[in-house]
């Protein structure tokens, strides 16, 4: 834990909006034309309706957005450009011939400004990784070609034949398939447990367990992993805790949950990118672990070679600058829409709702400024109805019916038959993933109210049959 973490207040600063406050705020807005309603009052009412859970952090509190800006020296372009230059070279010169063997022996490296070959370290990728590490309050981070390669390299670097991994049963379908179908063929044992019950992880630990693997927010059930409890468990058994934070960048900082041996993973394809224009991933970890991953003889990153194109790292580095305001707006809209969908009688899964079973847990872990994230699910009762909703919303130009998430526009998909179809139906049922669950990645384009009207109309249309 860093000093920055220590000053974080115990009680998160989250605005609690009661139904009475909301009713009053709506009334005030309806009366907005009347003289007695001053702009200040109107703004206060709009704030109550729109900003629950997204209160600005006090300067003294940890703010990952601030760390993203101030945590790393700004990299200027070669000729003083405000943006850094892209280092598109695959290979690098040494000035003195004796440096080359020293690099191969690990005596010289990026810390000394020595680059060798871009499958190893690349300066543009390295700088992007440094900013991501600052945002995550981790020692170091390095990008990869995809989220899946970040996951594959991390687990394989940590595991040998005969070792075991305990994973949440609700992990992303591709991760689930890797763990279920491929790792066992490499002699690695995998136990899936229900993340609703943290104690199940403890019960599954054996002497061979090397990794506990979870997603901060499970897909698509929005179950929040109790990262503090899992960190304690992992520490007690000297196990690594690997957390995929792809759903919830900025909102949650796994590094503050006090795991001794932590790796935080990203598919940068999603919110980190935000424009859905490039696949990528990242591994945030200790310097020691990254050295292992990049070892010229045994490193999984070095030898499997899932390199991010430096042009992508450059672009992601630019996109990172807008991540804080993007996440605030994703979260603000997701919370409002989740509340309204719930008021319409739907079963809605969103950690910002007080009806969410882990609302208190999520609130105790989150960085309040960034809200509860942009992802929500709603149960439409059957696969057919959920599909109908997705199609209608697309027809109304309220969303694209597409997998993936974190895009500027809203995306909708029906998880049981798409991104979670790798999970067997009985396992889906066990984890609360019903066939009628539609997952929404709430975008921030268009008017907040006009986009809501489309969602409302699509819901009403499904209901009418």
Question: Which residues of the shown chain bind ligand PLP in the complex (CB under 6 A)?
Answer: 146-148, 172, 174, 215, 219, 244, 246-247, 267, 269, 279, 281, 404
Minimum Å distance from CB 31 to ligand PLP?
Answer: 44
Pairing of strands 240-244, 262-267: parallel
Complex with ligand PLP: residue 248 or 331, whichever CB lies closer = 248
Eight-state DSSP code of residue 57: P
Eight-state DSSP code of residue 182: I
Measuring CA to CA, which residue among 286, 237, 234 is closest to residue 263?
Answer: 286
- CA–CA distance, 120 with 229 (Å, rounded to integer): 36
Minimum Å distance from CB 270 to ligand PLP?
Answer: 7
Minimum Å distance from CB 16 to ligand PLP?
Answer: 30
Whether 54 contacts 333, CB under 8 Å: no
Whether 140 contacts 133, CB under 8 Å: yes
Minimum Å distance from CB 246 to ligand PLP?
Answer: 4
φ, ψ (nearest 5 deg) of residue 285: -160, -170
Spatial CB neighbours of 250, under 8 Å, sequence gap ≥ 6: 64, 65, 135, 323, 324, 327, 367, 370
Measuring CA to CA, which residue among 336, 267, 261, 249 is closest to residue 68?
Answer: 249
Complex with ligand PLP: residue 84 or 263, whichever CB lies closer = 263
Spatial CB neighbours of 108, under 8 Å, sequence gap ≥ 6: 99, 102, 114
Whether 224 contacts 168, CB under 8 Å: no
- Return the axis-axis angle of helices 39-50 and 19-30, rounded to nearest 10°: 140
Instruction: Tokens for 156, please give them.
Output: 């394989």
Minimum Å distance from CB 215 to ligand PLP?
Answer: 5
Measuring CA to CA, which residue among 420, 419, 413 is closest to residue 377?
Answer: 413
Spatial CB neighbours of 243, under 8 Å, sequence gap ≥ 6: 214, 215, 216, 225, 227, 254, 262, 263, 264, 265
Minimum Å distance from CB 278 to ligand PLP?
Answer: 9
Complex with ligand PLP: residue 173 or 357, whichever CB lies closer = 173
Complex with ligand PLP: residue 115 or 128, whichever CB lies closer = 128
- CA–CA distance, 39 with 360 (Å, rounded to integer): 34
Complex with ligand PLP: residue 246 or 253, whichever CB lies closer = 246
Minimum Å distance from CB 150 to ligand PLP?
Answer: 8
Q: How many residues does the chain have?
A: 465
Minimum Å distance from CB 194 to ligand PLP?
Answer: 18
- CA–CA distance, 202 with 224 (Å, rounded to integer): 17
φ, ψ (nearest 5 deg) of residue 335: -65, -45
Complex with ligand PLP: residue 246 or 312, whichever CB lies closer = 246
Complex with ligand PLP: residue 53 or 281, whichever CB lies closer = 281
Minimum Å distance from CB 301 to ligand PLP?
Answer: 15
Complex with ligand PLP: residue 209 or 419, whichever CB lies closer = 419
Complex with ligand PLP: residue 196 or 413, whichever CB lies closer = 413
- CA–CA distance, 177 with 220 (Å, rounded to integer): 16
Complex with ligand PLP: residue 219 or 358, whichever CB lies closer = 219
Nearest to ligand PLP by Cβ — which residue?
Answer: 147
Complex with ligand PLP: residue 17 or 190, whichever CB lies closer = 190
φ, ψ (nearest 5 deg) of residue 3: -60, -35
Minimum Å distance from CB 218 to ligand PLP?
Answer: 9
Minimum Å distance from CB 156 to ligand PLP?
Answer: 15
Eight-state DSSP code of residue 181: I
Complex with ligand PLP: residue 84 or 243, whichever CB lies closer = 243
Instruction: Tokens for 270, please give them.
Output: 């999603």
Minimum Å distance from CB 404 to ligand PLP?
Answer: 6
């Amino acid at each position: 834990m860093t000093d920055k973490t220590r000053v974080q207040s115990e009680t998160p600063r989250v605005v609690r909006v009661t139904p009475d406050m909301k009713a009053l705020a709506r009334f005030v807005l309806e009366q907005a034309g009347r003289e007695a309603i001053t702009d200040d009052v109107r703004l206060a009412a709009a704030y109550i309706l729109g900003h629950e859970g997204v209160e600005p952090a006090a300067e003294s509190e940890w703010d990952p957005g601030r760390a993203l800006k101030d945590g790393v020296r700004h990299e200027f372009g070669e000729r003083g450009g405000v943006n850094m230059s892209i280092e598109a070279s695959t290979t690098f010169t040494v000035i003195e011939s004796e440096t080359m063997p020293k690099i191969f022996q690990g005596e010289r490296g990026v810390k000394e400004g020595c680059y060798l070959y871009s499958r190893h370290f690349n300066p543009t990728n390295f700088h992007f990784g440094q900013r991501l590490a600052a945002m995550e309050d981790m020692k170091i981070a390095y990008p990869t070609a995809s989220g899946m390669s970040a996951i594959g390299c991390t687990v394989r670097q940590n595991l040998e034949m005969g070792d075991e991994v305990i994973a949440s049963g609700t992990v992303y379908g591709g991760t689930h398939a890797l763990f279920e179908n491929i790792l066992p063929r490499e002699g690695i044992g995998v136990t899936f447990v229900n993340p609703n019950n943290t104690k199940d992880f403890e019960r599954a630990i054996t002497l061979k367990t090397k990794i506990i693997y979870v997603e901060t927010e499970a897909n698509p059930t929005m179950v929040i992993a109790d990262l503090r409890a899992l960190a304690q468990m992992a520490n007690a058994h000297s196990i690594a805790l690997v957390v995929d934070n792809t759903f919830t960048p900025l909102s949650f900082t796994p590094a503050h949950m006090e795991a001794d041996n932590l790796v935080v993973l990203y598919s940068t394809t999603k919110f980190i990118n935000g424009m859905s224009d490039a696949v990528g991933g990242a591994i945030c970890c200790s310097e020691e672990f990254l050295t292992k991953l990049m070892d010229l003889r045994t490193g999984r990153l070095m030898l499997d070679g899932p390199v991010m194109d430096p042009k992508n790292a450059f672009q992601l580095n630019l996109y990172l600058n807008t991540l804080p305001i993007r996440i605030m707006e994703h979260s603000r809209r997701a919370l409002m829409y989740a509340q309204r969908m719930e008021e319409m009688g739907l079963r809605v899964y969103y950690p910002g709702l007080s009806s969410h079973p882990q609302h208190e847990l999520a609130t105790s872990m989150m960085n309040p400024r960034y809200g509860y994230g942009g992802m929500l699910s709603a149960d439409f009762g059957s696969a057919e109805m959920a599909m109908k909703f997705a199609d209608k919303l697309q027809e109304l130009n309220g969303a694209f019916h597409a997998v993936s998430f974190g895009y500027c526009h809203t995306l909708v998909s029906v998880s049981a038959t798409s991104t979670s179809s790798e999970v067997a139906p009985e396992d889906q049922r066990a984890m609360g993933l019903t066939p009628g669950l539609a997952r929404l990645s709430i975008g921030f384009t268009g008017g907040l109210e006009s986009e809501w009207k489309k969602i409302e109309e699509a819901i009403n249309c499904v209901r009418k049959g």
